[in-house]
Structure 1
Amino acid sequence: MSGEDESSGWQLTESDPGVFTELLKSLEVPLVVDDLYSLDPAFLADLQPIHAFIFLFKWVPSPSEPTAGEYDPEFPGFFAHQVVNNACATLAVMNAIGNIPGLPMGPQLTDLIGFTTGMDPNTRGMAITSSDWLREVHNSLSPPQAISLDGLGLPKQTEDAYHFIVYMPYMGSVYEFDGLKNFPVRHGAYDERQGWVDKAREIIEARIGTYPPGALEFSLLAVHEDPLPRLQKQFVELQAGGNESEAAQVMVKLSDESAKRERWAFENSLRRHSYLGLIHSLLLSLAKTGKLDAAREGAKKALDERIARKKERGESMDED
C-alpha cells in the first residue's frame, strides 16, 4: 500500500509500465510490463506468454478473510508481506518473479531470494524491505524529493492509499498475492488447454465489477516476455525466406516496440531529474523583473479560490 509515511525510506512509485520495466531491467530480469486496456483475448494475444497481472486499486479496509478464493497457508512458493508503506510496487514484482520457475535474474536478486528461502511471509517481507540495494533501485524511479512543504500550514486534501497485488499461475491454479493478506489466495485450478489467463480474466473482471460504473480507481499491468528478440528473429527469417510483405508487418511491430522503449527511457529520465535549479532560476527571474510579488499574490488567490470551490462541493480539506 502506498500512503504518506516516508519514514521507511521507500518512496512512492507510479503505476507505469515504463517504471516497472525499468525496475525489472535493473534486477536483470528479462521481462517487460505493459498497460492493459482490455482483457479481450485478441488484445492479449500479442503479449503472450503472460506470466502475471499486476492490479492497482484504491485500498479500503477489507474483511480478514478473502471475499473470493481461499487462503493457502501451506503455499510452498515465494510470498512476502508488505511491512512498510510505499514498497508495495516492488513487493508485488518480487511476489510475481519469485514464483516464475527458471526465470533468469541478477546475482543480487538471486542471493536475496535464496536468503529468504524458508522464511515466513512477515520475516521475508522484513528481509526484502531491509535490503539497501533494492530500496535504492526502487527509489531511483521516483522523483527527487528536493522541496518539502511540511510545516507551511498549507491545506491539503486527504490522499487516498493505493495498493498493488498480483494474479498469476502456480502449480495449476491461479493465485492472488497481496502483501497485506495473511497468506496467498488460491482461486482454483484452470483449464490447461485454455490457459491460466482466461481464469484470471474472470477473477479480475468480477473484482472490477464491484466498482461503480465508470470508476477509474484501478489499473492493470501485464508482466510478459520481452517481444523484441522474438520479433527480431521473425524479421530475419522472413527476409531470408523472401516473405517481404510479412517482414514489413513485423518491422512495423519492431518500430512500434522500439519507439515505446525510447518513450519510456525519456519519461524515466524526467522522473529522475531534479527541477530545483529550474524553479530557482524562474523565481530569480521573476524577482529581477519585479513580478515575483504579483505572481505570489496570484498564486495565493488561486489557492483560496480552489479551497472555496472544494468547500462548496462539500469536499474535506485537512489542515497540516
Structure 2
Amino acid sequence: MENGNWTLIESDPGVFTELIRAIGVQGLEVEEVWDLESYQATAGTEIFGFIFLFKYDSSLQGGRQPVPWDNVPNVFFANQVINNACATQAILSVLLNAPESVQLGNELTEFKAFTSEFDPELKGLAITNSDTMRNAHNSFARADPFVNENPVPDEDKEDNFHFVAYIPKHGTIYELDGLQQGPIIAGQYDQANPQSWVQHLVPAIQARMAQFAGTEIRFNLMAVIGSKHEQLQATIQSLEQQMAHLDLADPTRNMLEQERSMAMNQLVVEQEKAERYRRENLRRRHNYLPFALELLKQMARQGVLDPAIAKAKEDKKAKIAAHFAKKDS
C-alpha cells in the first residue's frame, strides 16, 4: 500500500475494539447494537458514543443545517479530507469528545492538545498525516496480492457506505460527519440524567433510516462503551473484599457469593468474546492465496483437479435447475 493511502476496513466490533487499543486507548470496547431503544437497559456499562454506517447518498444530505464549528469550541470536529478514513474518523470523533474519565493515552492526548486551535480542515489533515492512526487503520487491510492499476473512483462505485458518529455533550446530542461543514444537532437530553441521551438519540437514527423509504436495509450501529471485562473484574474484586469481612454463616455472604458467581460467568463470556475477536482479526490479516495455489497444484499433480472442477460445474447446474423448478411449481 502506498504511503499516505487509507484502506477500506470492515464494520465490525472486533476490528474497532482492536483499532481503539492500537491507537493507545485502554478501558473501552465496541459492540454491535441490534435494538437501540432497549440497548441502554442491557449495555451494563457507560455508553460514550455510537458509530453509524449507512449507504451514502448526497441527495439525502440536505435539510440538516450544521452548527458553525466555531460556535461549539468544546466539540472536537474534523473534516474528512481523504477517502476511506471515515471509519477511524468516526471512532476518533467519539474518543476525542469523551469525558476526562476516559484515558486516551499519550498519543491521542498529545494529538488533541496539538490540534485544539485548528479548524476542521486542519484537524482532518492532522488525522490523515498521523502515522500512528493511519498504520492502526491500515493494519486491517485485507491481504491482496493483486494490484489494480486502474481502480474505480469512489464516485463511480455502485455503493458507497459512510460512517458518522453520535456523541453527547453538555445536554446536546451531535452527529459528527466529516463530510459536513460542522456538527449537526441530533437531539437534546437532560444533563442531570446523562445516560438518557441514548433514548433521545433513537428518533435521529430512525429518521436517518427512514430517508431511504424502505429501499435500503444495510445499516450498522455500534456503541463505544466502557470495557465490560474490566468492569466485571472490578465487580468481582469488590464482592470478594466484602465477603472477606463476613462470617461464613452470614446470609449476606451467601447473597454476595451468588452475585460473584454470576459475575464470573459473565467474565468467561467476555473472555471468550475477546478470544473470538482476536482469532477473527488474525484471519482478516492473513493472506490465504499461497495456500490456495499450493492446494490447486497438489490436486493437479494427483489428477483430481479436473474431476473436481467438472463436479463443481455439475453441482452448480443442478442447483440452478432446482431453483427454477421450485420457482415454477
Give 1:57's aligned residue: 54
Unaligned 5+ runs, structure 1: 152-156, 305-320
Give 2:111's aligned residue: 112
Gap change, CA 1:92 and 1:301, over 3 Å in 2:
farther
Q: Is the 8 A contact 2:187 2:204 kept in 1?
A: no
Distance 1:90 1:175 in 2: 18
SS of alignment partner, residue 40 of structure 1? helix
Q: Is the 8 A contact 1:72 1:185 kept in 2?
A: no
Gap change, CA 1:298 and 1:81, over 3 Å in 2:
farther
Give 2:272's aligned residue: 259
Counterpart amino acid of residue 12 in structure 1 = L
Give 1:208 shift: 2.3
Distance 1:210 1:16 in 2: 24
Give 1:201 shift: 1.8
Give 1:154's aligned residue: none
Give 2:134's aligned residue: 135
Distance 1:301 1:85 in 2: 43
Are 1:101 and 2:99 counterparts?
yes
Root-mean-square deviation (CA), in Å?
3.1
Distance 2:61 2:33 in 1: 29
Distance 1:6 1:297 in 2: 40
Q: Is the 8 A contact 1:28 1:104 kept in 2?
A: no
Q: How does 1:293-308 map to 2 (within 5 A)?
A: none
1:249 to 262, 273, 288: 262
Distance 1:43 1:49 in 2: 9
Give 1:262 shift: 0.6
Give 1:172 shift: 1.6
Which has the higher Rg, Structure 1 or Structure 2?
2
Distance 2:110 2:308 in 1: 54
Distance 2:118 2:157 in 1: 36
Q: Is the 8 A contact 2:37 2:199 kept in 1?
A: no
SS of alignment partner, residue 36 of structure 2? coil
1:98-138 CA deviation, whole Å, 9 max, x = no partner? Answer: 11132312322222222222111112111211222221111
Q: How does 1:130-169 map to 2 (within 5 A)?
A: 130-148=129-147, 158-169=157-168
Q: How does 1:1-320 map to 2 (within 5 A)?
A: 9-30=5-26, 31-41=28-38, 44-62=41-59, 65=62, 67-68=63-64, 70-73=66-69, 74-76=71-73, 77-102=75-100, 103-148=102-147, 158-194=157-193, 195-213=196-214, 215-239=216-240, 240-241=242-243, 242=253, 243-291=256-304
1:222-267 CA deviation, whole Å, 9 max, x = no partner? Answer: 0011122221122233345232222221112111111110100110
Distance 1:302 1:136 in 2: 44
Distance 1:297 1:79 in 2: 57
Gap change, CA 1:63 and 1:119, over 3 Å in 2:
farther
Q: Is the 8 A contact 1:17 1:221 kept in 2?
A: yes
Q: Is the 8 A contact 1:175 1:185 kept in 2?
A: yes
Number of residue pairs the alignment of both structures matches = 296
Gap change, CA 1:81 and 1:170, over 3 Å in 2:
same
Query: How does the TM-score come out when normalised to structure 2?
Result: 0.79
Q: Is the 8 A contact 1:69 1:187 kept in 2?
A: no
106-115 or 91-100, larger mean C-alpha shift: 106-115
1:165-207 CA deviation, whole Å, 9 max, x = no partner? Answer: 0111012200000011111112342123452111112211232
Give 1:54 shift: 0.4
Q: Is the 8 A contact 1:47 1:224 kept in 2?
A: no
Query: How does the TM-score come out when normalised to structure 1?
Result: 0.82
Counterpart amino acid of residue 297 in structure 2 = L
Percent identity, please.
37
SS of alignment partner, residue 5 of structure 2? coil
